[in-house]
């Protein structure tokens, strides 16, 4: 642990589950205000190794994120809110980013899988190449509660009770509030990331195992319609230390504008830094931040893709 925190319970990395289901019995029940340390897998959960080749991705079907939980919190009732304070997060020694055919923002333009392993042992920087290094800012891609609707539900889409939100600002020091739909709240988590750009455009970030320390508090005084969060300080202070280069998409549809902005960023990375299309797409997913720049001057809207120039080393 990098900070001194009282731990009430520890869980993980097994057993895992791969869907949301309100009928799943909790593996742990805690009191409001208690702290749990989770050890979780990345999405590879054992089938990906540091020396794996892209061929391992051929024909592979996504089965759901490997999640730890559910954790029930005493006194949590539908209509209440669960406050989750992210106290500490640590990565394992390595991670990976990949894309595959028909997955991600430009998946319909991809005809082969691609996989990149990252050395995270430095603890501060994930090396993309000798000249490019992405700051390590770990967070949990999935933090969510069981839905009120009965049955099994995919972990892929985010929901009003959280889930696969991939909000990169949920690093150590942040607070997340989730609306509760079932008794006990039934919290599960996983899908660790060492770094990600806003958008996660190739469908993966730097995926990795994490050790995360979270405090849970039931808020019966707070009633929300969807997740809310607060950071402990300025957003992206690590990368916001130099200039940025942005490409834009100008289209009458926000998704079309997003795709255009990313295509142009891939072209820029190839033109200015000599990156292959595959490597440029990977870098967009882990370091480029998408922003909706304008949605009021119809018929066209603007999405901008911002690249932090601080990741390039002289």
Q: Using alpha carbons only, what angle is made at residue 161 by residues 155 and 162, rounded to the nearest 5 degrees? A: 55
- Secondary structure of 67-128 as H, E, C letters: EEEEEEECCCCCCCEEEEEEEEEEECCEEEEEECCCCCCCHHHCCCCEEEEEECCCCCEEEC
Per-residue pLDDT at 3 exceeds 60: no
- The pLDDT score that the predictor gives to residue 1 is 43
* Same domain for 297 and 186: no
- The pLDDT score that the predictor gives to residue 58 is 86
Helix residue spans in 61-160 (DSSP H): none
Which is nearest to 76 in space by CA: 211, 226, 177?
A: 177
Q: Work out how many domains the chain is built from and give that number.
A: 2
Whether 121 maps to a domain, the answer reads yes
Predicted model pTM: 0.95
* Same domain for 252 and 222: no
Task: Residue 115: give the domain boundaries.
Answer: 9-230
Residue 313: which pLDDT band, with cuts at 50, 70 and 90? confident
CB atoms within 10 A of CB 222: 14
- The pLDDT score that the predictor gives to residue 225 is 97
* Same domain for 266 and 186: no
Per-residue pLDDT at 13 exceeds 50: yes
Whether 215 maps to a domain, the answer reads yes
DSSP letter for 108, please: G
In the listed set 198, 230, 262, which residue is the last one of a domain according to the structure?
A: 230
* Same domain for 213 and 78: yes
Whether 143 maps to a domain, the answer reads yes
Question: Lowest mean pLDDT: which of 73-82, 94-103, 133-142, 168-177?
Answer: 94-103
pLDDT tens digits for range 259-300: 999 999 999 999 999 999 999 999 999 999 999 999 999 999
Distance (Å, rounded) from C-alpha 126 to C-alpha 147? Answer: 36
In the listed set 179, 196, 230, which residue is the last one of a domain according to the structure?
A: 230
* Same domain for 174 and 88: yes
Compute the average pLDDT of residues 124-145.
96
pLDDT tens digits for range 196-255: 999 999 999 999 999 999 999 999 999 999 999 999 999 878 888 899 999 999 999 999
CATH number at residue 189: 2.60.120.580
Distance (Å, rounded) from C-alpha 195 to C-alpha 178? Answer: 23
Compute the average pLDDT of residues 140-155.
98
* Same domain for 52 and 132: yes
What are the CA-CA distances from residue 40 to residues 33, 74, 163 (Å)? 21, 23, 15
CB atoms within 10 A of CB 116: 18
pLDDT tens digits for range 66-112: 999 999 999 999 999 999 999 999 999 999 999 999 999 999 999 99
Whether 292 maps to a domain, the answer reads yes
Does 12 or 87 have the greater pLDDT score?
Answer: 87
| 146: three-class secondary structure by DSSP | coil
In the listed set 230, 264, 279, which residue is the last one of a domain according to the structure?
A: 230
| 165: three-class secondary structure by DSSP | coil
């Amino acid at each position: 642990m990098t900070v001194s925190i009282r731990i009430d319970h520890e869980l993980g990395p097994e057993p895992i589950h791969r869907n949301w289901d309100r009928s799943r019995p909790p593996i742990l029940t805690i009191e409001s205000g208690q702290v749990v340390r989770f050890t979780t897998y990345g999405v590879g959960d054992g089938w990906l190794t540091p020396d794996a080749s892209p061929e391992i991705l051929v024909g592979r079907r996504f089965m759901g994120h490997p999640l730890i939980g559910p954790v029930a919190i005493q006194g949590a009732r539908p209509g209440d809110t669960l406050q989750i304070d992210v106290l500490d997060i640590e990565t394992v020694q390595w991670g990976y980013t990949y894309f595959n055919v028909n997955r991600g923002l430009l998946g319909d333009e991809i005809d082969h899988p691609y996989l990149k392993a990252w050395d995270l042992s430095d603890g501060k920087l994930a090396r993309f190449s000798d000249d490019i290094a992405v700051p390590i800012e770990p967070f949990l891609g999935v933090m969510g509660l069981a839905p009120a609707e009965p049955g099994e539900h995919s972990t892929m889409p985010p929901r009003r009770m959280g889930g696969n939100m991939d909000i990169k600002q949920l690093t150590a020091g942040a607070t997340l509030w989730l609306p509760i739909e079932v008794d006990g709240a039934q919290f599960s988590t996983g899908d660790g990331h060492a770094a990600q750009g806003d958008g996660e455009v190739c469908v993966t970030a730097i995926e990795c195992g994490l050790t995360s320390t979270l405090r849970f508090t039931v808020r019966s005084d707070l009633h929300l319609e969807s997740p809310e969060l607060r950071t402990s300080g300025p957003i992206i202070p690590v990368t916001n230390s130099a200039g940025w280069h942005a490409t834009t998409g100008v289209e009458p549809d926000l998704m079309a504008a997003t795709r255009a902005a990313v295509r142009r960023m891939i072209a820029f990375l190839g033109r200015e830094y000599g990156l292959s299309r595959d490597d440029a797409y990977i870098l967009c997913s882990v370091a480029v931040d998408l922003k909706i720049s304008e949605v009021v001057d119809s018929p066209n809207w603007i999405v901008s893709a911002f690249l932090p120039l601080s990741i390039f080393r002289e």
